[in-house]
């Protein structure tokens, strides 16, 4: 049976996923923080598995995230309908232009429909929407408001999903992104973060793998 690859940014997220995932069905590996590290690390693991004659059947980007207030509360599990590189583009006097409008590719990768449907069925309480990938996480109310306005379907933001999605697309492998919310997006109030709750929710979500 071909296996599922689950990639996280850091070891703590991988530990939480391993606590819930079936080790006979899924390999879990931290690949680094940010879209570049995530893309490179995921691509390497996918290439090694293919070279060994045991390609993965799908790849999931998993970890914790910030949630947009009113869309995904702290403690929620979120599933990406699309993973969007929200800061890939250009500033202009009239506002931000995504790379799509510049004619240099796309900032959006849709989750594999069958994989998303399976995860949605296994996690019926999950919030489904777009998950933004940002190399610089949001730390002000103004940025949070701007992102929410530009991306009305966004429910959360993290730093790796789009990179993992690009690696999966290049390899021709189904992709999905699963996150649990540790904090609201906006001003960075570390005292309000609920890391333990988010890691516990991530372990529960990983049972779907």
Measured distance CA(78)–CA(189) in Å, rounded: 21
Taking 90 as the threshold, does the pLDDT of residue 84 lie above it?
Answer: yes
What is the per-residue pLDDT for 172?
95
> Band of the pLDDT at 1, cuts 50, 70, 90?
low
Q: Which pTM does this prediction carry?
A: 0.94
Taking 70 as the threshold, does the pLDDT of residue 178 lie above it?
Answer: yes
Q: What is the CATH number of the domain that holds 159?
A: 3.40.50.1580
What is the per-residue pLDDT for 82?
97
- What secondary structure letter does DSSP report for 190? G
Please state whether beta strands 77-85 and 89-92 pair in parallel, antiparallel, or not at all (unpaired). unpaired
Count of structural domains within the chain: 1
What is the per-residue pLDDT for 193?
81
What is the per-residue pLDDT for 207?
93
* In the chain, % of residues over pLDDT 70: 100
Give pLDDT tens digits for 104-144: 888 999 999 999 999 999 999 999 999 999 999 999 999 99
Q: Nearest Cα to 85, choosing from 46, 130, 44? A: 130
Domain that holds residue 52: 4-206
Please give the distance of CA 2 from its chain centroid, rounded to a whole number.
22
């Amino acid at each position: 049976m071909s296996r599922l690859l689950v990639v996280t940014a850091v070891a703590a997220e991988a530990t939480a996923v391993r606590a819930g995932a079936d080790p006979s069905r899924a390999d879990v590996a931290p690949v680094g923080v940010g879209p570049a590290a995530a893309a490179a690390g995921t691509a390497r693991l996918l290439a090694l598995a293919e070279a060994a004659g045991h390609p993965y059947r799908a790849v999931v980007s998993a970890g914790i995230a910030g949630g947009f207030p009113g869309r995904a509360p702290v403690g929620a599990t979120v599933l990406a309908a699309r993973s969007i590189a929200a800061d890939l583009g250009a500033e202009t006097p009239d506002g931000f232009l995504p790379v799509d409008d510049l004619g240099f590719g796309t900032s959006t990768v849709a989750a594999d429909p069958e994989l998303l449907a399976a995860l949605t069925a296994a996690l019926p309480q999950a919030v489904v929407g777009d998950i933004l990938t940002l190399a610089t996480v949001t730390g002000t109310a103004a940025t949070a408001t701007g992102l929410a306005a530009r991306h009305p379907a966004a429910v959360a933001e993290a730093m790796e999903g789009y990179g993992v999605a690009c690696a999966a697309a290049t390899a021709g492998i189904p992709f999905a992104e699963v996150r649990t919310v540790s904090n609201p997006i906006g001003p960075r109030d570390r005292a309000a973060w609920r890391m333990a709750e988010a890691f516990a929710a991530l372990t529960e979500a990983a049972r779907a793998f």
